[in-house]
Structure 1
Amino acid sequence: MQCPVCTDKTLIMSERQGIEIDYCPGCRGVWLDRGELDKIIERNAAEQAPAVASRPVVPASAPPPQHAPRPQHDEHYRHKRKKSFFEELFD
């Protein structure tokens, strides 16, 4: 299939985590077939749900926890965050 934007490039099919993605190597555009966006949204929601459910419930009357301020630009304090489903999918 030809790229709708470039018109001279052929789309490349790639399967990532069970979802078929068509992308253009020229403009790096991504196209999904019917139902594939729904699959991506469902998987992302399922991935995010356990993180929300595991948060502790804090009563509204409890004072906020006191934390010591951390240096903002110190290289030792930078933590790598986990990639989201979307970042892994399009990586």
Structure 2
Amino acid sequence: MPDLELMTTDGCHLCEQAVSVLLAVLKPGDAEVDLVDIAFDDALMERYATRIPVIRAPASGQELNWPFDEVQFRAFLQGLADADAQGSYD
């Protein structure tokens, strides 16, 4: 089960749309998703302020930038699973 982070902040309507995509795709046990509010970290604000929502896989550093849909999110998850199966990252 991959750990994912959704870079977000309060009042972000695009982030709400991204959460809807995640909820439509993920089933219980598929992944653990942490919502990361970038407003509380200057480095995250600098990196993501104009890009949120962004889904990030901390183990590999791979990111999926908005806009994305269910098909693109599934492909992102499959890419993570393939990389994990090949031992491409730890």
TM-score by length of 1: 0.26
Q: Which has the higher helix share?
A: 2
Between Structure 1 and Structure 2, the one with more strand by share is 2
Q: TM-score, structure 2 length as denominator?
A: 0.26
Q: Which protein is bigger by CA-based radius of gyration?
A: 1
Question: Higher relative contact order at CA 8 Å, sep ≥6: structure 1 or structure 2?
Answer: 2
